[in-house]
Amino acid sequence: MPLDQGQLNSLGLPKAPSDTRVVVAMSGGVDSSVVAAMLAKEGYDVVGVTLQLYDHGAALAKKGACCAGLDIHDARRVAEAMGFPHYVLDYENIFRDAVIDEFADSYLAGATPVPCIRCNERVKFKDLLETARDLDADCMATGHYIQRKPGDAKAELHQAADPARDQSYFLFSTTQDQLDYLRFPLGHLKSKDETRALAARYGLPVADKPDSQDICFVPNGDYASVIEKLRPGAADPGDIVHVDGRVLGTHEGVIHYTIGQRRGLGIGGLSEPLYVVKLDVEGRRVIVGPKEMLATRRVPVREINWLGDAPLTSQDEWHVAVKVRSTRPPRDAIIRPVSATEAEVELVTPEEGVSPGQACVFYDPDGTRIFGGGWIWRGY
């Protein structure tokens, strides 16, 4: 039954749900499963797509990671239960080239990469989105906790209603073209309990499935062991050096350390607590110093994705709030553009442990809108 003229369906499209094809990116977890089931129940023409992102044999043995063997099976079970088609696409080679290799190389260069952002940017919201278009889908929906809202000029990206589940830090690189096509049906929910209640209502087999915790290709959070396998010889030993030049001990590879780290340095017995303040990869040195050396106000950022209404370079300064790590709240800052994709961010209050390879995400200081963000490329 067609909609009245000017009327929009629940996805903001001027079509009846039965005439609206939606590709749902299904990881096998409860969030994307609920999205698929919800849209199917509303009468949309749902097509589920799951990406196999890394070694299928290894995936079968690892529970709780997205896009692994058991999760592919769970996604298929949900599709069968709800009666919509489901496809599995082999993206192992794309994922390795676009995400895993850069992750290893960034770590070896002394950065602290965020591969989940690159996966969204280069795989899920690029190749998968193009697949959705090839399937003649009107839009693609995901289980991410973030909101897409209509604005005066264009679709806007906003933080999720539940601050504890908000995934905006990991989605800052979503372009305007992608945002126009994407939908996030869970972003308005107040808590994960609401999502699980919906899963139970739909009778989904994943209703009680635990959330994934680790990066999918990093078992138990052991980054170093993964990098050693990908880049043999990466864990070469070297010196732990105080900023004043004293050699305090030795380490078993720079890849075992991150800026801001205090625990696990193996240099006890000193009068002051010491933190990793710099990684000298070429010299194989871990440089440590007092906590105050971690504080910085200047954060150079590049590869900026800007989602503001006016061009980034249309103003000399933008007063925003920024996150320099996913676990920290937005803090007041000033963006000073250098070009359309590069800027220097000044933090009003110094932050500790700002690290190359992390994202710097821009927020409306007086609201929930996300203005994009970029990559920190020199944090000290």
The domain ranges of the chain are 17-202, 235-289, 297-376
Query: Residue 114: its pLDDT value, please?
Result: 85
Q: Is 367 annotated as a binding residue?
A: no
What's the pLDDT band for 380 if we cut at 50, 70, 90? very low
What's the pLDDT band for 236 if we cut at 50, 70, 90? confident
All residues at 6 or more sequence positions from 169 whose CB lies less than 8 Å from its CB, including other chains: 117, 323, 326, 359, 361
Query: Residue 57: its pLDDT value, please?
Result: 45
Residue 260 clears pLDDT 80, i.e. is over it: yes
Q: Terminal CA-to-CA distance of the chain, rounded, Å?
A: 60
Residues of the chain above pLDDT 90, percent: 60
**Higher confidence at residue 147 or residue 3?**
147
How far is Cα 172 from Cα 316, in angstroms, rounded to an integer? Answer: 22
Q: Is 138 annotated as a binding residue?
A: no
Fold annotation for 297-376: Elongation Factor Tu (Ef-tu); domain 3 (2.40.30)
How far is Cα 338 from Cα 253, in angstroms, rounded to an integer? Answer: 36
Written as six digits, the tokens of 369 are: 């809108």
> Is 235-289 the same fold as 17-202?
no
Q: What is the pLDDT of residues 321-356, one digit of tens each?
A: 999 988 889 999 999 999 999 999 999 999 987 888
Q: Is 140 annotated as a binding residue?
A: no
Q: What is the pLDDT of residues 135-155, one digit of tens each?
A: 999 999 999 999 999 998 899
Q: Which segment of 72-86, 99-113, 129-143, 312-326 scores lowest on mean pLDDT?
A: 99-113
Query: Residue 2: its pLDDT value, please?
Result: 57
Q: Is 216 a catalytic residue?
A: yes
How far is Cα 210 from Cα 49, in angstroms, rounded to an integer? Answer: 21
Q: Is 254 annotated as a binding residue?
A: no
Q: Is 26 annotated as a binding residue?
A: yes
Q: Is 119 a catalytic residue?
A: yes
**Higher confidence at residue 136 or residue 104?**
136
Q: Is 234 annotated as a binding residue?
A: no
Does the 235-289 domain belong in CATH 2.30.30.280?
Answer: yes
Q: Is 289 annotated as a binding residue?
A: no
Spot the catalytic one: 66, 116, 216, 360.
216
Written as six digits, the tokens of 279 are: 């990684």
Instruction: State pTM to two decimals.
Output: 0.88
Q: Is 25 annotated as a binding residue?
A: yes
What's the pLDDT band for 112 if we cut at 50, 70, 90? confident
Spot the catalytic one: 116, 119, 139, 360.
119
Average pLDDT (88-102) is 88
Half-sphere exposure of 372 (CA within 13 A, CB side): 26
Homologous superfamily of the 17-202 domain (CATH): HUPs (3.40.50.620)
Q: What is the pLDDT of residues 59-73, one digit of tens each?
A: 434 444 455 578 889
Q: Is 135 annotated as a binding residue?
A: no
Of 118, 48, 71, 86, nearest to 212 by C-alpha is 71
How far is Cα 45 from Cα 17, in angstroms, rounded to an integer? Answer: 7
Residues of the chain above pLDDT 70, percent: 92
Q: Which segment of 39-53, 60-74, 123-137, 306-320 scores lowest on mean pLDDT?
A: 60-74
How far is Cα 282 from Cα 280, in angstroms, rounded to an integer? Answer: 6
Query: Residue 143: its pLDDT value, please?
Result: 96
Q: What is the pLDDT of residues 74-91, one digit of tens each?
A: 999 999 999 999 999 988
The overall average pLDDT reported for the chain is 89
Query: Residue 107: its pLDDT value, please?
Result: 79
Residue 13 clears pLDDT 60, i.e. is over it: yes
Residue 37 clears pLDDT 90, i.e. is over it: yes
Query: Residue 379: its pLDDT value, please?
Result: 47
